[in-house]
Chains A and B, each alone.
Chain A
Amino acid sequence: MHEVISSVGIDIGTSTTQLVFSRLTIENPAGSYRIPKITIVEKQVIYRSKIYFTPLISATEIDAEGVKRIVRSEYAAAGMKPGDLQTGAVIITGDTARKKNANEVLSALSDLAGDFVVATAGPSLESVLAARGAGTDKLSLDNKTVIANIDIGGGTSNIAVYQRGDLRGTSCLDIGGRLIKVENGSLTYVFPKIQALAAEHGIRISVGDRADRGILYKVAELMAAELAASLHLCPITESHKKLYTNDGTPIPEEPKIIGITYSGGVADCVYGSDIQDPFRYGDIGVLLGQAIRENKLLSSLTLYKAAETIRATVVGAGAHATDISGSTICYDRSLLPIKNIPVLKIPAEDEKTLESFKDSILRQLPIFYTEGQLEQIAIAFDGHERSSFKAVQELADAIIEGAKEVIESRYPLIIVVEHDIAKVLGNALNFKMGNKKPVICIDGIPTASGDYIDIGEPVAGGQVLPVVNKTLVFNT
């Protein structure tokens, strides 16, 4: 078995909008005498768009029609039609203020992006997609070490830490190349938090000032020092904590970071393409890149080359946002695709007994009410200790009792387990409910409380479902 599925990634960021098409090759490496274990064996970016400045109507609103024109022209240039695509992700990243009309933007794109769109990305998802696009996860696995990726864009720096291929933490700071803008030799915009950071160190800058390279480089050095602090390379100060977006928190202190990759627009300046005019892009991105490169603490880490720099996030969205479910699952095809399903996660301690398992569902259900009605949810748990036939039967009974309200609602019963028991559990649920309730039961997908998932239409002859997990909860 060998199947290629096509995926689109569209990233509408604070400063730039980009698009990539990729090919995901899926195979069943298990061999013909085994139960299938279908996996994505190769991810290849086949088309990279030009990099556009994100069209804006105002400081807080994206020009939806403008974005649509860009996307349409890039589809044409690549020779792609929406019908050619099986999966993908559209993300609106960066400065949250810009997300005001996000839904409008997404609906403008809906006929181009098809049925698989992802809405706005939380900062955690952005960090993860950028790091995957930069190849940080793979580098950490290949080198058996701990590597952080910092994706430094126009408005924010998204950090993700990988230890031997596993995600260990994410964070997001208001540090970016376009937080100070320069036009005709003077400052036209200074982000308040950066102004405050400079002031704290006795540097006064404000809109209208002459753009002095020396002074702005000092500010860039301060920003680089804050990035070093965010990786725990030096102690964290009280004022540092104010730099996290949405009152977020730093990455965990453990594991200790050994290596580093840089992505985002500023990354090319870090890796050293020297640009003579420091204000070439009308901002301090070039200076920030230089300051990061010269920072003593950051230089103490092993520097790895990122697979992608300015395109890391969009490549992450296009090639790395989609996972596929386990190969032995249970679903009703007519229900798919399903988008934006919030996850009700049963924590490990509640999984210990069937009674607490049931109670956990009942206790959490009220969170998922909107206007007095239960919304569509997915019930998720690990399932590791319950793989015998008897245990699965008991589990099915507990779900039927605990999720009675879901079963009585107009929505299907959606179960997402991590451990490989979805098919037998799905059969048990169907059997016990007399095939009267539509059931989707998939495995191989780790989830956390607060996640949202999309489940796509089946691929690989119907054996697996593409799944996009949209918010990976660390520091959102």
Chain B
Amino acid sequence: MGEKDLRSIIEQVLSEMSVSAAPGAQNVAAAAAAAAPAVNAGGGLKIASKNLELDAPVIENGEFGDITQIDIRTQYLVENPENKEAYADLKYKAPCRLAIGKAGARYRTLPQLEFRAAHSAAQDAVFNDVDEEFVKNQGLFIVQTQCDSKDTYLTRPDLGRKLSEEARETILKNCKKNPTVQIYVADGLSSAAVAANIGDLLPAITQGLQSYGIDVGTPFFVKYGRVAVEDEISELLNATVVCTLIGERPGLITATSMSAYIAYKATVGMPEARRTVFSNIHSAGTVPAEAGAHIAEIIKIMLEKKVSGTDLKL
């Protein structure tokens, strides 16, 4: 988030809070600091058992720093707590917006800004495209579904499940036919997830499969892709197992979570129950490299048992 955006948000928040006593618009940031004096007072708290410093918000030159860098698990803003250490210990276990204090009946300025920043990151993850340079650096070529824009993609889910004619040709031209396992990456609802995880996830799956001696097809990237496009890809290349690594719909905790949808002999129109899914792959969930190693083993089991989805008992 840029400095300008931040300023405009603070201005908006202040006008909503009707801080009539604020000393003029030219000193908005200072007013923001004044409106949240207690934020500054908490001081760092050491959690002895975890060896962590709890973040106390620092205000320099009348501005918060990069609020997206705050780890909310270590953020503690309650004034005069009964047992700060115990609450902070509890809070460290999950990234929930707890113990963020209040100003009257409302959020304080900082948590309010953080909330909006997280919401913006989620929106960005959906609306931005994956950087094509990044995809190419991962050794992936790019194809597109029948969606011609983000708008079409979001409003026409059916088109996100079908490859464009050009995509079918490119895939047939570039990919190994009849692979045992076909893996590909799709943006889904989070481009940020692709950028954050693919560098670790994809090679970990591939290495795992190689060490089991399982043949892997040519990977690629599908733009504007939904999960079920894997069925068409599986049929097109005659893959035994197809695996898509796709960005999950982002939330306010993370915008970079990824899922793997894996199916044995997928066909267009097959029931959804035939997909095996692993979700919550991101740096604060299952780390992508370890998740990749696990997915490789699941694919191995799938090939042995010749089923996927709810029929596959793990």
Contact = CB atoms under 8 A, between A and B. Distances in A.
Nearest to A34: B280
Contacts of B208: 423-424, 427
Contact of B289 (A144, A163, A166, A389): A389
Given A34-B278, A328-B294, A427 B204 contact: yes
B289 A424 contact: yes
A33 B277 contact: yes
Interface residues of A, number: 28
Interface of A: 33-36, 144, 163-164, 166, 255, 328, 330, 387-390, 392, 420-424, 426-428, 430-431, 435, 461
Contact of A389 (B85, B292, B294): B292
B199 A427 contact: no
Given A163-B49, A423-B294, A427-B296, A34 B279 contact: yes
Given A163-B48, A428-B207, A431-B211, A423 B290 contact: yes
A58 to B, nearest CB: 46
26 contacts: A33-B277, A34-B286, A35-B278, A35-B280, A35-B290, A35-B294, A163-B48, A163-B49, A164-B49, A166-B49, A328-B286, A328-B293, A328-B294, A330-B293, A387-B287, A387-B289, A420-B286, A421-B287, A422-B290, A423-B208, A424-B207, A424-B208, A427-B207, A427-B211, A431-B207, A435-B211
Contacts of B211: 427, 430-431, 435
Contacts of B200: 388-390
B293 A424 contact: yes
Interface of B: 48-49, 83, 85-86, 89, 199-201, 203-204, 207-208, 210-211, 277-281, 286-294, 296-297, 314
A328 B210 CA distance: 18
B83 A144 contact: yes
Contacts, number: 85
Q: Counting chain A CB atoms within 10 Å of each CB, which of B49, B83, B210, B287 scores highest?
A: B287
Contact of A424 (B49, B280, B281, B292): B292
Given A34-B286, A328-B294, A426-B293, 18 more contacts: A144-B83, A144-B89, A163-B49, A164-B86, A164-B89, A328-B286, A328-B290, A387-B287, A388-B200, A389-B199, A389-B200, A389-B203, A420-B287, A423-B290, A423-B293, A423-B294, A424-B292, A428-B207
A163 B287 CA distance: 29
B221 to A, nearest CB: 18
B299 to A, nearest CB: 13
A270 to B, nearest CB: 28
Q: Among B203, B290, B291, B294, find the residue whose CB has the most chain A CB atoms closer than 10 A.
A: B290
Contacts of A435: 211
Contacts of B297: 423
Nearest to A433: B211
Contacts of B280: 33-35
A357 B39 CA distance: 42
B189 to A, nearest CB: 16
A364 to B, nearest CB: 25
A427 B286 contact: no
A21 B93 CA distance: 33
A435 B213 CA distance: 10
A325 B288 CA distance: 19
Contacts of A255: 48
Nearest to B294: A328
A201 to B, nearest CB: 37
A160 B312 CA distance: 46
